[in-house]
Amino acid sequence: MPYSKSRARRDFETTYSELLSLARQISYRNVILSYDHKNMIFQSSIVLLCSSLEEYLRVFVEDMFFRYRSNGATLSEIPLNPRTFSLFHRQRTIYEGFIHNRDETKVLERLNVTNSHIYSVVDDNVILTNHIDPKTIVNDKKYPSPKNIKILFNRLGIKNIFAETNRIGGKDYELLLRSFLDVRETIAHQESTDLTFVDVKRNFENIKDFLDKLDRTTYKHICEVSGQKYWI
């Protein structure tokens, strides 16, 4: 089956359209707003689009694993990296506790090879239930910096997400994202940022284009590893 937009992408594009429409409406000369008021709205639209991109990442990852669970996927149908990350994450908290209190007895009890809470994630034949917590995958990496996006999508099994998006779109999406975030960070730090509707529209279109390639890349990955029925 051909690619279809994820629910997370559809939600993002709804917000995208609303924000861009508002920015366009107040850009007209006959709108009775001061230059400063218009600039504040332009700035707000950039910040809100960044928040919407962050929400896309969160919703996408949570929907991905909800789809696996609701369709009765076995762990063999799940990409290896989220399974491995789950194993690593659960063991890491135990080792961090050991570094803090040096209680070897407690560590051995919790790391016991019969502890199914930790090790069942390596069994290909088990049906996915609570083996992978999507929140642990996405929550600390949902701010859409290039570094976070690389780590997040590697956790999902895509080793170099920007290499894939760049190949599909023929653009340097990491550079476009950095440019957008530079504007967003300047606004957040209350530095002087004069924006026009042309600036807003260009940044919006760049992010929408990037998200299109992101969604398509992940669609291909899920279909190849798990099958099209698990697409979200």
Q: What is the pLDDT of residue 90?
A: 84
pLDDT of residue 56: 99
pLDDT tens digits for 109-153? 777 766 677 788 989 999 999 999 999 999 999 999 999 999 999
Quote the pLDDT of residue 102: 79
Kindly report, residue by residue over 21-42, the tens digit of the pLDDT.
Answer: 999 999 998 898 999 999 999 9
pLDDT at residue 113 in the model: 66
User: How far is 223 from 205, CA to CA, in rounded Å?
Assistant: 27
Distance of alpha carbon 69 from alpha carbon 127, whole angstroms: 8
Query: For 61-108, how does the pLDDT look when each residue is reduced to its tens digit (9 = 90+)?
Result: 999 999 999 999 999 999 999 999 999 988 887 777 777 777 788 777
Closest CA to 65 of 138, 124, 1: 138
Coil, helix or strand at residue 5: coil
Q: Which residue has the tokens 């975030």?
A: 181
